[in-house]
């Protein structure tokens, strides 16, 4: 095919041919979302190297936008969102994902949301609310089907999970008692 691509998987293929070829392609695919550094040049390098490239080390890159929705097996979806430099999705993305949810995501399906930065954590830390479109998508359209939100950007590892207040008190009490026991053993 053109540019060394299998038939139908060329950037010059018709949309229909590309979709049909993508479904038939047996090899691996890769999708990416841009981060804040990708926006330094207005997304030009991301567009050139990800969206217009086609291939990365034997992996097909069929992505046509800076965001995507992928259906996975067993009723799961991945939504890759582009927060640009504002910490929120724009209205084009909002309409795109709302349309996918309303037309294709089944009521029992689950969604994994991927963003560059952990908006929930940054909003808590800065005591601000900047991701109103994303919040409306999750609370309004997805209505409890967003089960996982993966994010990067902070350049250090932290795991955040819900802990019931009673569990926290028990864990803190147990840790304090353990520390007292250890202190008694080392001093006595």
Contact assessment for residue 88 and residue 122, using Cβ atoms and an 8 Å cutoff: no
pLDDT at 182: 40
pLDDT at 184: 38
Q: In whole angstroms, how far apart are CA 21 and each of 9, 12, 26?
A: 6, 13, 10
pLDDT at 74: 97
pLDDT at 113: 93
* pLDDT under 50: residue ranges of the chain: 1-4, 11-12, 174-188
pLDDT at 37: 87
47-63 residue pLDDT tens: 998 888 888 888 888 88
Residue 144 to residue 111: CA distance in whole angstroms: 9
Q: Tokens 């080392």 sit at which residue?
A: 186
Contact assessment for residue 55 and residue 83, using Cβ atoms and an 8 Å cutoff: no
Question: Side-chain half-sphere of 170: how many Cα atoms within 13 Å?
Answer: 5
Residue 112 to residue 78: CA distance in whole angstroms: 5
């Amino acid at each position: 095919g053109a540019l060394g691509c299998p038939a139908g998987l060329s950037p010059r293929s018709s949309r229909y041919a590309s979709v049909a070829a993508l479904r038939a392609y047996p090899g691996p695919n890769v999708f990416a979302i841009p981060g804040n550094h990708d926006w330094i040049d207005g997304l030009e390098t991301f567009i050139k190297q990800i969206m217009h490239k086609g291939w990365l080390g034997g992996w097909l890159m069929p992505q046509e936008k800076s965001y995507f929705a992928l259906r996975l097996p067993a009723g799961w979806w991945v939504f890759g969102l582009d927060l640009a430099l504002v910490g929120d999705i724009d209205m084009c993305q909002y309409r795109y994902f709302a349309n996918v949810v309303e037309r294709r995501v089944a009521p029992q399906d689950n969604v994994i949301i991927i963003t560059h930065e952990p908006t929930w954590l940054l909003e808590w830390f800065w005591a601000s609310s900047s991701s109103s479109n994303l919040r409306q998508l999750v609370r309004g359209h997805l209505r409890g089907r967003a089960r996982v939100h993966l994010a990067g950007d902070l350049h250090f590892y932290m795991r955040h999970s819900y802990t019931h207040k009673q569990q926290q008190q028990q864990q803190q009490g147990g840790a304090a008692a353990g520390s007292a026991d250890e202190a008694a053993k080392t001093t006595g």
